[in-house]
């Protein structure tokens, strides 16, 4: 408790000393500087990090390090640099305590410092874990958002005439993508006021039965909103899956290629 109180009283001094007397001599600082990061940015982030660590280990303020981890992800900060930086702060605080113990009259002993090191070990590990969790969650969120955007772009109905459109199914289809594509395609088709839609599977890879079922549902939805669905480029494995699932897709008009389907429509 005595060390915590001492650190609180020396917080401003410690933060300043960390950067000016210690951090600028580290390999991490030199690496960040050589990679193009400005010294002003390094100082700002480094001193802020040092202050936050002191606040956390002294119990002055509880911070949401998971949110900080998310922000660092969006700043494109390497998570390994964050952990390395925390290690540098930890070493500096302990080194400073030992130095003050030797040069000033303080109310703590070397044994107190050792006990303090043990006490904050779990706190520092918890901070690193929270930062990592926030970092990884934001990464997952961005991957999901990018995936959704790609699916939206790939679920594009191309109007060929005022009444006929083509929906190319491109790439690998799993359960998630199949479901989202089904929803977006039906919505887009309804807005276009088409009569006929050619669903081209020439470039599609259906990975499982769930994706196949979503495609069947999409075709049935097209029929319910008044469209006449025509299939082209059906892959043998897709045809086999539809039979296995007891689908009635086989009753629809189907052509070996998109060109054949459009020719049949008089285009």
132-179 pLDDT per residue, tens: 888 888 877 776 666 666 555 556 788 888 889 898 887 777 777 777
The pLDDT value recorded for residue 150 is 56
109-123 pLDDT per residue, tens: 888 888 888 888 888
185-204 pLDDT per residue, tens: 888 888 888 899 998 888 87
The pLDDT value recorded for residue 152 is 56
- Is the model's pLDDT at 40 over the cut of 60? yes
State CA 157 to chain mean position distance: 28
Least confident of 77-86, 89-98, 216-225, 250-259: 77-86
Q: How confident is the model at residue 230 (pLDDT cuts 50, 70, 90)?
A: very high
- Is the model's pLDDT at 5 over the cut of 80? yes
- Is the model's pLDDT at 125 over the cut of 60? yes
For residue 84, which of 40, 128, 118, 130 has the smallest C-alpha distance?
A: 128
Residue 36 — left, alpha, or beta (φ > 0 → left; ψ -120 to 50 → alpha)?
left
> Considering the chain, what is the average pLDDT of its residues?
81
Rounded Cα distance, 247 and 240, in Å: 10
Q: How confident is the model at residue 89 (pLDDT cuts 50, 70, 90)?
A: confident
24-34 pLDDT per residue, tens: 888 878 888 88
- Is the model's pLDDT at 241 over the cut of 70? yes
Q: At how many degrees (to 10) do helices 110-154 and 65-74 cross? A: 50
Q: What is this structure's pTM?
A: 0.49
Q: How many residues does the chain have?
A: 267
For the segment 244-249, the average pLDDT, to the nearest whole number, is: 72
For the segment 45-49, the average pLDDT, to the nearest whole number, is: 85
Residue % of the chain over a pLDDT of 70: 91
Dihedral pair phi/psi, residue 76, rounded to 5°: 65, 35
Whole-number CA gyration radius for the chain: 31
């Amino acid at each position: 408790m005595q060390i915590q109180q001492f650190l609180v009283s020396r917080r401003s001094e410690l933060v300043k000393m960390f950067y000016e007397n210690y951090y600028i001599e580290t390999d991490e600082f030199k690496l960040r500087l050589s990679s193009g990061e400005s010294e002003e940015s390094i100082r700002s982030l480094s001193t802020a990090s040092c202050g936050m660590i002191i606040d956390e280990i002294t119990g002055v303020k509880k911070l949401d390090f998971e949110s900080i981890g998310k922000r660092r992800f969006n700043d494109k900060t390497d998570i390994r640099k964050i952990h390395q930086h925390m290690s540098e702060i930890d070493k500096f605080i302990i080194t400073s305590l030992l130095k003050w113990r030797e040069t000033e009259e303080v109310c703590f002993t070397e044994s107190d410092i050792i006990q303090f090191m043990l006490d904050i070990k779990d706190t520092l590990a918890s901070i690193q874990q929270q930062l990592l969790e926030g970092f990884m969650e934001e990464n997952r969120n961005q991957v999901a958002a990018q995936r959704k955007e790609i699916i939206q772009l790939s679920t594009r109905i191309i109007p060929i005439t005022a009444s006929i459109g083509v929906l190319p199914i491109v790439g690998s289809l799993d359960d998630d993508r199949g479901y989202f594509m089904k929803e977006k395609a039906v919505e887009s088709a309804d807005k276009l006021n088409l009569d006929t839609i050619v669903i081209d599977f020439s470039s599609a890879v259906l990975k499982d039965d769930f994706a196949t079922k979503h495609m069947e549902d999409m075709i049935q939805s097209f029929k319910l909103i008044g469209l006449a669905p025509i299939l082209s480029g059906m892959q043998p494995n897709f045809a086999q899956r539809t039979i296995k699932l007891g689908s009635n897709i086989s009753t629809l008009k189907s052509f070996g290629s998109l060109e054949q389907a459009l020719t049949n429509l008089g285009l």
